[in-house]
Amino acid sequence: MTQRVAVATEVLRDEKFNARRIELAEAALETLGELGFARTSLREIAQNSAFTHGVFHYYFSDKLDLICCCVRHYKAKCVTRYDEVVTSAQSRDELTEGFLAKLAATLQDEARMHRLWYDLRSQAMFEAAFRKDVLEIDKSLEAMIWRIASRYAELGGTRPASSPAALYALFDGLFQSALLKHLANDETAVPELLDEVRRLLPTIC
């Protein structure tokens, strides 16, 4: 009985610790999204949040640990963004319009967070500490795109004409290009992305 209580206490302690890390990661995302990896320090993150520098140091071993936590947390929410559209759509047109609406919204409303993701994915080429997390997140995003493509194909009685990896590379490239134009205040970025995706879907799914 005592051992079970000890185990339960340890589990609760771990849950509270992890919940606090998520809370701090949420607080750090705004600064990271604004300044990027290279220009952000733990001290700067603390100055732009309600938490002290010491608190961040207690819950994270260094900036890399904090940023990895931030990106995992943010992308964990991202990968479920389109699931409701995928499960509820009853036709190709319905799936297309639902997908495009959410695609436009995330590009416009969360541009800085996506910019941070691409920044960190590039940093993973140089920072070994990022690679495992970045590769895992990439696989989850690939699976997200595959769910959309598979459902679209199913609604048309076909199969996707490419592999999950190739489809993800295609859509990710289109999105990254549109994001850069959007950040440069190019008003054509979103409509051109949506037109391209609407044109491509029937040819690859």
For residue 5, what pLDDT is reported? 45
Nearest to 112 by CA among 175, 193, 34, 25: 34
pTM listed for this prediction: 0.82
Report H helices in 36-127: 42-47, 53-59, 63-78, 83-88, 92-109, 111-123
Which two structure tokens, joined as six digits, stand for 93? 């047109």
Q: Where does residue 53 rank: exposed (0-12), middle (13-18), buried (19+ CB within 10 A)? A: middle
Q: Which of 2-16, 77-91, 95-109, 136-150 has the lowest mean pLDDT?
A: 2-16
Q: What is the pLDDT of residues 37-93, one digit of tens each?
A: 777 788 888 887 788 888 888 888 888 888 888 877 777 777 788 999 999 999 999
- C-alpha distances (whole Å) from 142 to each of 78, 135, 146, 167, 170 are 12, 10, 6, 8, 10
Tell me, what DSSP letter sits at residue 50?
S
What does the alpha-carbon distance between residue 33 and residue 141 come to, in Å, rounded to a whole number?
Answer: 19
Nearest to 162 by CA among 174, 172, 173, 170: 170
